Amino acid sequence: MFKKKSSLITWIILGTLLLIFMSLEIAGHLIAGKSSNQGKSHFVENNTDQVGWGETSLKNKDLRRRIANLSPRELCIVIDTANNTLNLKKEEQIIRKCVISCGSGNILNEPGGGRKWIFDTPKGEFFVKSKIKDPYWIKPDWAFIEEGKIAPKDAKDRGEANFLGEYALGFGDRYFIHGTLYTRLLGRNVTHGCVRVGDEDLRELYMATTIGTKIFIF
Amino acid sequence: MLLRLISFFALLAVPANILGYCSALNDPERILLESEFTLAKKPGLYFIFNLKDKKISLKARGILLREWEIRKVRYWGNPVAVKPIALIDKMVLLPPKRERIKPGESDKEEKYEVKALELDDMPSSYTLSLTGGIFLSLRPEAKGWISIFPLALNTLRWRTLLPLKTVWFFVRKKPFTSIEIVLKIKRESQAFYWAFTEGTECIIF
């Protein structure tokens, strides 16, 4: 008798829960259906029979022209950090394709200190800020910390020649497009944020670009 | 003739901005271009989800940087206004983890073993939360018999979870839109996850 009663109660509870669930489902479908029908569809067809279409078409043309005018007419650099490629472009034409290395995305925490570095290549729009021949690397603190060493206070103890290749193009907040000794790692995400390029490609980039050349990184 | 004259004077009486608004409603391309112009004027990257032509474009200053082909798309909920919206958050079951460098243990780069966050580490199925209660779910096109189970789960989610979420947002008086986008291959989906970062603006058309 007791077993029958508890079984019945269980079925009633399950039935009630199912009813609530189905009600919510139906309510959800109804609300979603009503929202979709409130005057706009997700795809609004371009009805060209409307009054003023000729004028609208001219306005569209004008808008397209204004957008096109925003794009750089000169050379620009487009960096794909996911595929580690760099394209030197002029409008739609690719002048040169390069295999590069971008940021590793790794994190370095300063032992016993509060500083933290995330080695990403920044994404967005930049421009060439500086052009340097035979760059000399002044190692930042993280380079010593990463090796488990203490960073020297004197700048002359931080220098390393021939590490960044023959040229460097500065952009953003102390980031550079520069050369590398580790050419076998080109195509991989191995840097501390800078963009490493092979010698020949770097020379071409240095010769072709000027201060102000746009750099787009994604 | 009289009817035409009356119509003409009636049209003159209507404020120009209303006429412009009416023609804009019938010209979604103009709305898209106007929205794109506001984004292209600013420095930085932006995305255009052209669901009609089935492609996603990554642009900056009006120039096309990369494009993704959309295989399938389906949507649920409130219509989406054609205006710039931003990515708030990426939601994924197992987010990619960054390596933590142990000081003093880094190899010399001659015998370097690459330990980095790369494209292959990115998830291929994920949901993006945008402003305005818009959720974009992206996944690669499923192929083969092995995809039956995740596809079934996805269909179940679409049919059961979304109505519940709709009610939840309705009770909170907030809009809710869910758009599912299927990309061509896994790598495309991973590349999109990589490229679309929090705060980046986009337009859904």
> Residue A79: beta bridge partners?
A86, A217
pTM higher than 0.80 for the full model? Answer: yes
Nearest residue on chain A to B168, alpha-carbon basis: A28
Q: What is the predicted pLDDT for the residue at B55?
A: 96
Whole-angstrom distance, CA of residue B79 vs CA of residue A76: 37
Residues 6+ apart with CB under 8 A from B128: B87, B89, B90, B91, B135, B136, B137, B138, B196
CB pairs < 8 Å spanning A and B:
180
Residues 6+ apart with CB under 8 A from B143: none
Q: What are phi and psi of B118, to 5 degrees?
A: -120, 180
Q: How confident is the model at residue B18 (pLDDT cuts 50, 70, 90)?
A: very low
Are A171 and A132 in contact, with CB atoms under 8 Å apart?
no
- Which B residues in the span 38-57 are in contact with A, Cβ-Cβ below 8 Å? 40-41, 43-45, 51-52
pLDDT mean across residues, chain B: 84
Residues of chain B contacting residue A108, judged by C-beta atoms under 8 Å apart: 100-101, 103
pLDDT at B12 over 90: no
pLDDT at B150 over 80: no
Q: Where are the beta strands (DSSP E) in A30-104?
A: 75-80, 85-90, 93-103
Q: What is the predicted pLDDT for the residue at A54?
A: 64
Are B61 and B151 in contact, with CB atoms under 8 Å apart?
no
Q: What is the predicted pLDDT for the residue at A159?
A: 85
The DSSP call for residue A142 is H
Give tens-digit pLDDT for A126-147. 999 999 999 988 899 999 999 8
- Residues of chain A under the 50 pLDDT cut: 38-51
Residue percentage of chain B with pLDDT more than 90 = 55
- Nearest CB neighbour to A52, from listed B23, B43, B119: B23
- Which A residues in the span 130-149 are in contact with B, Cβ-Cβ below 8 Å? 145-149
Query: Which H/E stretch holds residue B165?
Result: helix B162-171
Give tens-digit pLDDT for B68-115. 999 999 988 888 899 999 999 999 988 999 999 988 876 555 456 788
pLDDT at B21 over 50: no
Inter-axis angle of helices B28-40 and B16-25, to 10 degrees?
100
- Mark yes or no for CB contact B166/A31 under 8 Å: yes
Q: What is the predicted pLDDT for the residue at B163?
A: 86
Residues 6+ apart with CB under 8 A from B204: B49, B51, B80, B82, B85, B134, B179
Of B144, B137, B141, which is closest to residue B185 (Cα–Cα)? B141
Give tens-digit pLDDT for B184-199. 999 999 999 999 999 9
Please give the angle made by the CA atoms of A188, A189 and A193, to the nearest 5 degrees: 140
Q: How confident is the model at residue B61 (pLDDT cuts 50, 70, 90)?
A: very high
